[in-house]
Amino acid sequence: MKQTTIVIVGPTAVGKTQLSIMLAKRFHSEIVNGDAFQVYRGMDICTAKITEAEAEGVTHHLIDIREPSEPYTVADYQRDARQTLETLSSEGKIPILVGGTGFYIKAALYDYRFASSGANPKYRRKLMRIAQEEGGDALFARLKHVDPIAAERIHPNNVVRVIRALEVYHETGTPFSDRVRNETVRQLYPYLCIGLTMERELLYTRINARVDQMMDGGLLEEARSIYNQGLRNAQAMQAIGYKEFIPFFDGTCPLEEAVSQLKKNSRHYAKRQLTWFRRQMSIQWFDMTDVLDDFSTKAEEIYCFIKKHQSKSK
């Protein structure tokens, strides 16, 4: 019998990591990463990757499994995450899936089927040149022409996703939106989803403070290291926390402007995360606004909620 996976979601800087460690220790379990960029080695500060000290001995999976130069698709993640969930479940452990990349998490838990399509690096480079020379709007116009459904789902500024959608169409002749059979896909794994939220102004204050802490901790040097490897067009370089510094490294904007843009993008991303999760998954939400000085009390409340749910499920 499959163990019920505990899923912890929510926007950046809301407290997911701290809660996951507490629950993993209480349930004697292990944690599965649900963040699209923590899979990359060396991308530590940018992704707020958990440190050895923060992990407190809890085993984490699907972290540092790819080089920044390597592509890693949602289909790759789906395969690896399911294998990990199956292994933990077979060992009698309750998997704890934690992260903010909603589509990755849902792809692991539901029967999404992705059409296979070989990558075409030459065509991808061609599209990237168009984006650089003509702007992202030119690419998005192409996407709206060949796959209007995908164009409704992908933000025009998400150049990586726009390019991927065009690449799939170019290679397969079928729309990127057809990769998923339908929106009412079958659930494969039993799960209980815990969502963390927070009053918006406080969340934004925490996000801004986190960016400042990252800068003090060496984020600029980390981003420069990826940039200097010639990976400006790689998937990894599109992470929030790296792409904002490309204009600074290119000498076209001051550092202060890049940092300000990073804070803005991080706040907007948090808003999109909350919107996505509220629309896409069944979640029990817990407000973390008033628990900054007493996290353990809220964590205990969540633990008791999970235990009660487990008792009803037996």
105: nearest Cα among 14, 31, 160, 26:
31
Residue 15 labeled ligand binder? yes
Q: Which residue has the tokens 């960016």?
A: 211
Residue 49 labeled ligand binder? no
In angstroms, rounded to a whole number, what is the distance separating the alpha carbons of residues 289 and 226? 35
Identify whether the C-beta of residue 100 lies closer than 8 Å to the C-beta of residue 34. Answer: yes
Q: Look at residue 178 and give its three-state secondary structure.
A: helix
238: nearest Cα among 40, 9, 21:
40
Identify whether the C-beta of residue 57 lies closer than 8 Å to the C-beta of residue 116. Answer: no
Residue 11 labeled ligand binder? yes
Within 13 Å, how many C-alpha atoms sit on residue 296's CB side?
1
Residue type, 312: K
Residue 16 labeled ligand binder? yes
In angstroms, rounded to a whole number, what is the distance separating the alpha carbons of residues 97 and 81? 9
Residue 36 labeled ligand binder? no
Residue 17 labeled ligand binder? yes
Residue 59 labeled ligand binder? no
Identify whether the C-beta of residue 4 lies closer than 8 Å to the C-beta of residue 306. Answer: no
Residue 57 labeled ligand binder? no
In angstroms, rounded to a whole number, what is the distance separating the alpha carbons of residues 280 and 102? 8
Annotated binding residues for substrate, written as ranges, equal 12-17
Annotated binding residues, written as ranges, equal 10-17
Annotated binding residues for ATP, written as ranges, equal 10-17
